[in-house]
């Protein structure tokens, strides 16, 4: 399993292929549906976002409240296709990667290729496991959204699979084709 620092994702992106497994370490930002709507309101008004998009990774999750001294509670991925209408613009503005679960639409795949981005899949239903890799969490924006607020997470060796690579490889499409043979 390749270990990658968030800050080096752009360097490694061309070497990653759909189906590759990695361990990601560094800073990621959480954002789900409601946070994406607010991000777009900021963008449309020309306002500064709560975090720098260039080189960032967004994890589609809404961590539950922390327990037992941990930084977050369960921290599993949500269905990524719900963010498909937002993702191409964010990639065009410098977003380096996304973490979620499930397939992505054609426009997202094209934007990943166009921008050298990567879509990582996290294991759905394993929120407690994913939370063990979160070493720190800070709510940075949209506090009124509760678990859907934007948080800055520090992750260590977060286990992920490349779902869509920047060369057009797609684990869902390619996996089905391989299985059909």
* pLDDT digit string (tens) for the chain, length 181 residues: 899 999 999 999 999 999 999 999 999 999 999 999 999 999 999 999 999 999 999 999 999 999 888 999 999 999 999 999 999 999 999 999 999 999 999 999 999 999 999 999 998 888 888 999 999 999 999 999 999 999 999 999 999 999 999 999 999 988 776 766 6
Q: E-strand spans in 53-179?
A: 57-59, 97-100, 118-121, 134-141, 150-164
E strand or H helix at 41: helix 33-45
Question: What architecture is the 2-180 domain classified under in CATH?
Answer: Alpha-Beta Barrel (3.20)
- Contact between residue 17 and residue 170 where contact means Cβ atoms under 8 Å apart: no
What is the reported pLDDT for 76?
93
Q: Which is nearest to 118 in space by CA: 3, 13, 12?
A: 13
Tokens coding 134: 């979160």
Rounded CA-CA distance 165/20 in Å is 9
- Most distant CA pair in the chain: distance in Å? 50
Return phi, psi of residue 164, to 5°. -135, 125
Rounded CA-CA distance 26/146 in Å is 23
Query: What is the pTM for the complete model shown?
Result: 0.95
């Amino acid at each position: 399993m390749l270990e990658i620092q968030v800050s080096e994702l752009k360097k490694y992106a061309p070497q990653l292929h759909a189906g590759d497994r990695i361990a990601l370490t560094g800073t990621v930002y959480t954002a789900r549906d409601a946070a994406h709507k607010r991000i777009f309101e900021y963008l449309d008004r020309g306002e500064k976002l709560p975090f720098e998009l260039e080189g960032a990774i967004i994890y589609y999750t809404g961590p539950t409240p922390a327990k037992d001294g941990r930084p977050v509670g369960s921290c599993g991925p949500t269905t990524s296709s719900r963010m498909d209408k937002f993702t191409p613009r964010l990639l065009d503005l410098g977003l380096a990667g996304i973490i979620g679960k499930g397939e992505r639409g054609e426009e997202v795949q094209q934007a990943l290729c166009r921008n050298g981005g990567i879509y990582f899949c996290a294991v759905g239903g394993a929120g407690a496991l994913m939370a063990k890799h979160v070493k720190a969490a800070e709510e940075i924006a949209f506090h009124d959204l509760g678990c859907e607020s934007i948080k800055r997470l520090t992750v260590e060796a977060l286990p992920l699979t490349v779902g869509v690579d920047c060369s057009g490889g797609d684990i869902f499409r390619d996996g089905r084709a391989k299985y059909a043979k």
